[in-house]
Each structure stands twice: as structure tokens, then as C-alpha cells.
A and B are shown apart, each in its own frame.
Chain A
Amino acid sequence: MNAKSRARAGILLVLLALVAAACAGATPEPVVVTQVVERVVTQIVEGETVVETVVVEVTPQAPAQDQTRAEQLNIAINGPIADPTNLNLYAPGVSRSNTGLHQVIYEYFFYNNLQTGEFIPWLATDYAYNEDFTSITVNLREGVTWSDGEAFNADDVVFTYDLLRDNPGMVWSEEANRWVESVEKVDDLTITFHLTEANPRYHLIREAFPAVGIWGGITILPQHVWEGEDPLTFKNNPPISTGPYRLANASQNVMTYERRDDWWGTEVFGVQPAPKFINFMYVGPSTSVALALAADELDSPNIGILSLADFLSVKDRNPNLEAWSDGAPYAWLDPCPRALMVQNATPPWDQKEARWALSYMIDRDQIVELAYEGTTVPSWGIWPFYDGLDPFFDAIADLRDQYPTNTQDLAQAEELLTSIGLSKNADGAWTMNGSPLQLTYLVNADSGEEMKVSAVLADQLEAAGLQVNVQPLSGPPQEDARLLGQYDIALQAMCPGFIFDNLELFHSSFSVPLGERAPWFERNSFRYQNAELDAIVDEMAQTPPDDEAALIQQYQEAMAIWFEDLPVIPMFQAPALVPFTSTYWEGWPTADDAWNMPVSWWATFNLVINGYPSPDTGEWIGGIRPAGG
């Protein structure tokens, strides 16, 4: 080689070396989980009490290793965690259920067991309203401690609500401030919440009170850790909490929790959770989750990951796989039934005859079979079929017969549409004012359920003579369209599913003009207004939740109006297919043993793992245990 080619080779080598060096430098950094904490330390020096603030670095024990499978409870979550160093569940970007924070780390005053109707005291023991329901006094449980040994008491509660009042960026601060005027510490274990207005249902509002209704509730934070921190940017790492587990390891795919030996519940209740390690892990798409379940690497996936077909094929390979019920429909009933929202502000859907006509055009059984694979049932109304709600459902049995919301009757539909002045043209299409009637059907493209339902439903409506424009949108444009009311029909989950709360959705105070954003999707984005129903709902709001007789009476009156107007069209119960394997852990709640809700992403999962003392008898109920043990 001559000088020139040697020089060229040399330059090439240098370039390659640079590239290699750049790549070599990019090795993954281990996520170091430490926190600098200021502790107030009281010492007695030469007879005098000296109080100092000491800066301490809190490093948890070495990351959990050598976990044997039998010690692990593995739950699959539905997506990676964008920032595993941020454990502040008041920041909206942190998923408190994907990270496992509100299941095994934080705890709540009370837990609502929707399945049994129990209101279970946990961090608190009981509550009492004053005479006019303008304040509620809560007694905290004695012996509850934070994971660093400090006592959990009223100061923490007052502090948390002060934070919520002063920081409008915290999740649920708006709702908390809407209801809570002030929080008063009566003594270390007693607090009084002074409400902004009389509300006998305040203790059921999970966005304002530390009781878990659906999914989660207001979380009480330790004052000695959070004082002086900006509650929006504070990373809270590692989290100091009252729960039975502590964070051992955090990465984008896995949050590992290790059981604490010094949990207060062990002393107070005499129990310890069975799994030594709990891993909330992202395993990949449904195929990987199915394979992991078949191989017993997973115990349970979160909702929405596994379809019925996947579930059944895994069940073939792994007979230990179980769901809520042993045979069809397999799925547990999610509290938010599905309804078809109809845009009440747009003609001809502003007339109840048109809405009823729509309802009569729909063949719900066909959709259940095709879109839901038989995992659910049609629903006559917008409430979940829980046993605890039976008294209400029985009370309107005659109304349900009078208004057949689940019936398909095309002749009746035609009659209704004709009665309001619509007519069919030569092609058999319904026309209004001379032009064919078009429906915009807004669909959330990210929801497999909505896409499947829309395919079948659009066909049914077209067969009945309507022109349906299915509009699949995704992300913020979809959400905006739904809030702004830019749809004629849209499938929606009617949350939260309680008798009063779901009626409240129809209150005209939530109805805003088209083009403005509604408070939320099911919160009257369909712009329904009826002053009579408003009056009944207002009355219900002031009725104490335990006065069932009064509530049932009001429910009957409300439903007479609701059924006649049919502001939204009831469609189906919501299927929540949540499988569990019993290879390593048994005692899961099932239809045969319905002691709790089988949901691993709700804060009530704490009770599924530990069990709980029955509010009536005091005996210990449930709690998963090692299989075969």
C-alpha cells in the first residue's frame, strides 16, 4: 500500500473508532433509588432537649434478587412506565395503578367492596356526620405507622388537604376543594371535615374523601416527608407509606415491591400478606401475555389485555387458569355499563321518539355475540347488575316492562320516526326535510371494543334505513370531539355506576352549548335537559345513602322520566375479563366465592392480597394464600 491509501485507511479507522466509542459509552445506567430526607431528631444533651433537623440519605435495602417464583406475585400491566423514577401519584403523568402505588404502597380510610356492599374500615375505624350533613368526623385507627416508623395521624390528613387546596395542579384537587371547606384536627386520631355545603354522600366521593370507591381515592401523604416540597415536581422516591410493601426496584418494565416485616397491619390485625415479592410488569402485547400465562410466568394480567379467544386458548394449555365464572360469560361485571350516547342537541335526536326509534333498531344479542364473543349481556339500564342494587332494580320492575329498552322492533321504529315527520325515500333511506338522514358515529380507534361494536351496529342501523358515517378518531382529537358533542351517536362507559351518581350525569347543570367542552364524556356531553329530573336528582343528593327507602322512592320517580325520554340508549353490561392462575396463589375472588372484586389495578387489591376484617362480624375474610398450602 502506498502512503495515500494508508492515510485513507487510517482516517477510516479513526472514524470507526469514534463511532464505536460513542456507542460503548451508551451503557444503561442502573436506576439508583435513594432519597435525601430531612428528619427532625429530638435528643437530650446534658439534660436539655435539643431538636435538630438532620439530613439523612435513605437508601432502601439492596434491590430484591434471588426471588423464587413461588414467592412472587406477577401482575401484567398494559404499558411501560415512562419515568420509573417518579413515584408521585398526585402528578397526572404518573399511573398509580400501573406502578402499583395505590394497590400495595398507599392505603385508605375505607374501602368500598362493591361486590358485597361492605364499606370496610382500614386506616380509619368509623365516621359520623353532624345533624345537617355539613361536616363529618372520622376516627383514625390506632397503631398505624408510616414505613419509616413515624406515626400516621391527623396531622398528615390536615397537611394533605392543605396541599390540595394550595396546588390546583394536583390530581383531584379541584374536586377536593369543591367539597371540603377545611379540615380540623380534633386530636391525633380524630379529624373533622367541614364541607362547603350539606352533602350526606360526601364519604362516597373518592375524588374528595380518602375512601376507595371505584379504582382509587384521595391519598393521604406523610407530612414529615412532603413538607416543603413542591407536590407537582417532587418525585417521592422511595415512597414512604403505610402499605405492607416497599419499593425494591423500579424500571420502565417492572416495578418490584418487597414485603415489609414492620407493617402496622401485622401487629394490629395479626396477618401478613402471603407474596414476598409483587411485580407489576409490562410483558408486551397480548400474545406475550398469553404465552407468559401459559408458562406460569404471570399470575394475572390487567383488564383489556387478554381477549376471550386468547383466554380460552391459554386455558387449554394451562388448566390452572381461572376467570370470574367457570363457563360463559367468564367476565366479571365492570361497574360502568355501556350506553349509546345520542346527541340531544341535534335534530332529530332532540326528540325522544327518534331516540326510542334508534333503540328499537338495535339487535343487542347480535352485537354481544359478534363484538363481545358472548362475554356480556344486554343491559336494560345504565347500572351494573350487582346484588347490592337489586332492591332498586326490583322497585322499577313494572317500568322496565313498560319501556322495553332491550327489544329490537323495526316496525315500532318506523312508526316512531314517521310520527315525528320523517319519511323513507325510494331507496328505503330515512330522510329529514328532503335529504337523507346521516348519523355521525364517533368511535375511539384505540378501543378494540368500540371498533368491534361499531362494525356491527353501523350495519344494523344502515339495514334499518339510516346512513351512518363511522368516524374513528384517536387520542386528543377523539376526546375533544366527544367533549364538544361533535357526534350523533357514540358508545360510552357510564361511570361510576352508582345509583345516584349515574342519574346525576343527566343533570342539566352539566349541559353546555355545543362547541364548549362538557365536564366529561358521560357527564352530559349529550346535552340532555329536563327540569323535572333535575329536581329529583337534587333531592337525592341530599338524602343520606343509608336511607334506602327514600332513595328507592326517588329512583322510581326519576326512572319514570328517564325511561320515557331515553336520553342515552342502554346497551350492555361491561365485561371485565380478568384471569388468574392458581398455580402459585389461590383464594382469588370468583363468582362462586364472591368475597371481593377481582381487580388488580384498583386500590382494593390491597384487600385481595391481605384479606380484611368483616365490618359486621370482625372475622378475617379472604386474602390469597400459597397454592396447595
Chain B
Amino acid sequence: MQYGLELMKAYLKFLGERFAILVATVFISVTVVFFVPRLVPGDPVTAIFMRLVSVGGSRGAPLLVAEYRRIFGLDQSLWDQYVSFLRELLRGNLGYSIASFPSHVTDLLRISLPWTLGLLTVTTIISWVLGSILGAVVGWRGRKSRVLQMLVPVALVVYTIPYYILALILVFLFAFYWRIFPLSGAFSVGVVREFSLSFAMDILRHAALPGLSIVLVSLGWWFLSMRSLITTLKGEDYIQYAEAMGLKERRILWGYAFRNALLPQATGLAISFGHIVSGALVTEVIFAYPGLGWLIFNAIKGLDFPVIQGGILLIIFSVALANFVIDIAYPLIDPRIRYERAGR
């Protein structure tokens, strides 16, 4: 009983520390993200009119530019802008996008977020599961089977192929030559967008190629890291003891080695999840998939401060959150850490 309470107290103290770090991280990052883009030379308002010009649209209008600088508070001092930014942020208002005025930053993020989350969450999980399982099998039995050994250089090659080339090859083969999947987009032109099975199937058909390209490229990483973890673990004492005890090989691999290798793999997965909201820019460009990557990239190029802040804030928050979740989950998963915390 005493021991349980001690454990609880240690754990809660640990939780509290970690939460304070989360808040501090987000605050410092938000401040940095506020100031750094504003140090770049260039006027975001002029960038809007550049887009008009690029299609033959505008001869430039100083009064219009001045009006927009006023609307966005860009004529105020940097400190004033920072204070009002923080104030609005606490109210949950991320402001208007400069480049897409009068769209709200939250609206822009909201339309893109589901596509990025949907595509990248699923592909991350798939590539993690597949990569980990394959990596475990190859790491364990690698030397005994030629076929399995061949997977290592294959994984290395696929992992290092430039993503753009791989994606283009997939598009050419599966969307043009064999016409199995659509060329681009998140759903078909003219399809009714409602919660129905046909729409869901349409989305899946369109997500197949982008998803496949991401899975192929990330699979290699999980495969290789799991394989090296298992290979290292094979030499551990408890594994040798289990072998000596005559346990079945399958039981040793999945019940002991894999479970222990899973800990660092899970950390990697959590951090990957955190980065999902930064989107996959090249995927979105090649497959015209509407997501956060393109939104943030364009905002950075056009110095669209509110969208940069909103997008980066989203990334910071989810990465910090992912780290936080892993921090609090780890002691629960790994008893060694829990005992250390309690001073045993």
C-alpha cells in the first residue's frame, strides 16, 4: 500500500513536470515562429498582388497595399503586433490569412487537416506495422534464410529512392499505363460529397497511390530500425536463458525480443505522429492532394504570417503533445523506468 502511494506520487510529480515543459515549449516556439518570418525582407501584402500580376492582373496600387498593411496591423510596431497576436491566440483566434484574405486561418487549416490526417495517419500506421513485423522476422531469422536476407538491400534501395521519382513512376504505371487508379486529387470531379459508401470508396481509390508511395518510402526506415534492434537484442541474457530453457523460437521472438524492441519503435512512432500535421508537401504537389503541406509551404513562400503561425503552431503543439504522451505512457509500458522513479 505504502509502495503504491509512493509510486503514484512520484508519477504525478513526473506528470506535472512534463506538462510544465509542454507549456513552456509551446510558448517559446510560438514566440520564435512569430518573430523569425518577420525578419525576412519582403512585404507579404505585395505578394498578394504578385499573384494577380502573374496572370496579367495588376499594375500595382500603392493605396491598396497601404490599406491592407493597415488591416493586418503590419504598420504597427513589432512588439504591438506580438502582444495582439498573443491576446488573440488566447481567445482562440488565429486571425485572417493575408494571402487568402478574408479567409480565416482556422478555416484554411480545417479544410486541409482531415486530408492530411487521414492519409498520413493510415500510411504511418501501415508502414510502421509492416516494417516492424518484417524487420523483426528478418532480424531474427535473417542469417538462416536467403530470401529474407535479400529484403535488406531491397529495403535500403526503396528507402533511398528520391520520393519524387518513385511517386512519378507509380503515377505513370498505375494511373496512366494501366489506368487502375486516378491521376490525382482527393476525389473525383462531380462526385457527390456526403457521408456515403460510394464517396468513401472514391476517396480510397484516390488515396491509394499517394498512400502507396508514402508507405513504400517509409517502410524501409521502420524495417531497418526494427531489424537492428532485434539483432542487438538477440545477444541479451534473458533471450539466451529462454533458449536454454527450450522455449519455442516463435514464442521467444514475439513474446520477448519483439516486445522489448517495441519500446524504442513506439517512441519513434509517437514522434512520427506528431509530425503528421506538417503534411507531405511533395506528395501533395504530385498527386494534387489537398493538405497542410502545400498550405504551409505556400504561406512561408508568400510570407503569410498568420498562416505560418497557425500552421507551425499546429505542428509544434502536436509534436509536443506526442512527446508528452510518450513521456507519460513510457513508465506505464516499461516497468524499469517506473521503479527508477520511485528510487528503487
Which A positions have Cβ atoms within 8 angstroms of B?
Answer: 4, 8, 11-12, 15, 19, 23, 26-31, 62-67, 72, 74, 80, 82-86, 88, 91-95, 97, 168-169, 171-175, 207, 214-216, 232-233, 235, 249, 251-254, 256, 277, 279, 281-285, 287-288, 291-292, 294-295, 297, 303, 335-336, 474-480, 483, 495-496, 517, 519-521, 523, 601-602
Are A82 and B103 within 8 A (Cβ)? yes
**Residues on the A chain within 8 Å of B208, using CB:** none
Are A477 and B59 within 8 A (Cβ)? no
Interface residue from A95, A282, A295, A477 paired with B41 (Cβ < 8 Å): A477
Interface residue from A66, A93, A287, A601 paired with B190 (Cβ < 8 Å): A66
What separation, in Å, do the CA atoms of A281 and B189 have in the docked complex?
9
Are B111 and A252 within 8 A (Cβ)? yes
A26-B113, A168-B64 known; A254 and B192 CB under 8 Å? no
What separation, in Å, do the CA atoms of A194 and B47 have in the docked complex?
33
The minimal Cβ–Cβ distance linking A577 to chain B, given in whole angstroms, is 15
**Residues on the B chain within 8 Å of A285, using CB:** 285-286
**Residues on the B chain within 8 Å of A91, using CB:** 101-102
Which residues from 49 to 68 on chain B have a C-beta closer than 8 Å to any C-beta of chain A?
49-53, 55-64, 67-68
Interface residue from B47, B55, B102 paired with A476 (Cβ < 8 Å): B47
What separation, in Å, do the CA atoms of A66 and B189 have in the docked complex?
10
Which residues from 262 to 298 on chain B have a C-beta closer than 8 Å to any C-beta of chain A?
273, 285-288, 290, 294-295, 298
Q: Which residue of B lies closest to A336 (CB)?
A: B56
Are B183 and A284 within 8 A (Cβ)? yes
Interface residue from B57, B68, B114, B172 paired with A216 (Cβ < 8 Å): B57
Which B positions have Cβ atoms within 8 angstroms of A?
Answer: 40-44, 46-53, 55-64, 67-68, 71, 97-103, 107-108, 111-115, 117-118, 121, 168, 171-172, 175-176, 179, 183-187, 189-195, 203, 273, 285-288, 290, 294-295, 298, 301-303, 325, 329, 332-333, 335
Q: Which residue of B lies closest to A290 (CB)?
A: B176
Are B190 and A65 within 8 A (Cβ)? yes
A26-B113, A83-B100, A284-B286 known; A8 and B42 CB under 8 Å? no
Secondary structure of the A side of the interface?
Answer: loop
Q: A97-B55, A277-B190, A288-B286 are in contact. List 6 more A-B contacts (CB 8 A).
A: A12-B329, A28-B186, A29-B114, A173-B64, A291-B175, A479-B46
30 pairs of residues in contact across A and B, judged by CB atoms under 8 Å: A8-B332, A11-B333, A15-B329, A26-B114, A26-B118, A28-B115, A29-B111, A30-B193, A63-B193, A83-B100, A84-B111, A169-B71, A171-B58, A173-B63, A175-B59, A251-B186, A279-B189, A284-B183, A287-B286, A288-B183, A291-B175, A295-B176, A295-B183, A336-B56, A478-B42, A479-B46, A517-B62, A519-B60, A519-B62, A521-B60
**Residues on the B chain within 8 Å of A249, using CB:** 190, 193
What separation, in Å, do the CA atoms of A333 and B263 have in the docked complex?
63
Q: Which of A80, A215, A253 has the most CB of B within 10 A?
A: A80
Are A28 and B101 within 8 A (Cβ)? no
Secondary structure of the B side of the interface?
Answer: helix
The 3 closest A-B pairs by CB, nearest first: A476-B42, A520-B60, A30-B193
The minimal Cβ–Cβ distance linking B183 to chain A, given in whole angstroms, is 6
Interface residue from A72, A215, A254 paired with B185 (Cβ < 8 Å): A254
**Residues on the A chain within 8 Å of B48, using CB:** 92-93
Q: Which of A23, A95, A477 has the most CB of B within 10 A?
A: A23
Are A93 and B285 within 8 A (Cβ)? no
What separation, in Å, do the CA atoms of A169 and B98 have in the docked complex?
12
Q: Which residue of B lies closest to A11 (CB)?
A: B332
The minimal Cβ–Cβ distance linking A613 to chain B, given in whole angstroms, is 26
Are A93 and B101 within 8 A (Cβ)? yes
**Residues on the B chain within 8 Å of A601, using CB:** 55
Are A86 and B100 within 8 A (Cβ)? yes
Are B301 and A474 within 8 A (Cβ)? yes
The minimal Cβ–Cβ distance linking A20 to chain B, given in whole angstroms, is 9
**Residues on the A chain within 8 Å of B285, using CB:** 284-285
What separation, in Å, do the CA atoms of A254 and B47 have in the docked complex?
24
Q: Which of B108, B185, B195, B273 has the most CB of A within 10 A?
A: B185
Q: Which of B49, B183, B288, B302 has the most CB of A within 10 A?
A: B288
A67-B189, A232-B101 known; A480 and B294 CB under 8 Å? no
Q: Which of B47, B55, B100 has the most CB of A within 10 A?
A: B55
Are A215 and B290 within 8 A (Cβ)? no
**Residues on the A chain within 8 Å of B100, using CB:** 82-83, 86, 93-94
Are A284 and B288 within 8 A (Cβ)? yes
**Residues on the A chain within 8 Å of B101, using CB:** 91-93, 232
What separation, in Å, do the CA atoms of A602 and B98 have in the docked complex?
25
Are A92 and B117 within 8 A (Cβ)? no
Q: Which residue of B lies closest to A63 (CB)?
A: B192
**Residues on the B chain within 8 Å of A251, using CB:** 186-187, 193, 290
**Residues on the A chain within 8 Å of B332, using CB:** 8, 11-12
Interface residue from A27, A67, A288, A303 paired with B184 (Cβ < 8 Å): A288
Interface residue from A65, A82, A478, A602 paired with B191 (Cβ < 8 Å): A65
**Residues on the A chain within 8 Å of B294, using CB:** 80
**Residues on the B chain within 8 Å of A15, using CB:** 325, 329
Are B302 and A95 within 8 A (Cβ)? no
**Residues on the A chain within 8 Å of B176, using CB:** 291, 294-295
Are B64 and A475 within 8 A (Cβ)? no
Interface residue from A27, A297, A335 paired with B118 (Cβ < 8 Å): A27
**Residues on the B chain within 8 Å of A295, using CB:** 176, 179, 183
**Residues on the B chain within 8 Å of A80, using CB:** 288, 290, 294
The minimal Cβ–Cβ distance linking B289 to chain A, given in whole angstroms, is 9
The minimal Cβ–Cβ distance linking B287 to chain A, given in whole angstroms, is 6
Are A479 and B42 within 8 A (Cβ)? yes
**Residues on the B chain within 8 Å of A253, using CB:** 184-186, 288, 290
Are B43 and A480 within 8 A (Cβ)? yes
A214-B56, A282-B288, A288-B286 known; A171 and B42 CB under 8 Å? no
**Residues on the B chain within 8 Å of A523, using CB:** 59-60
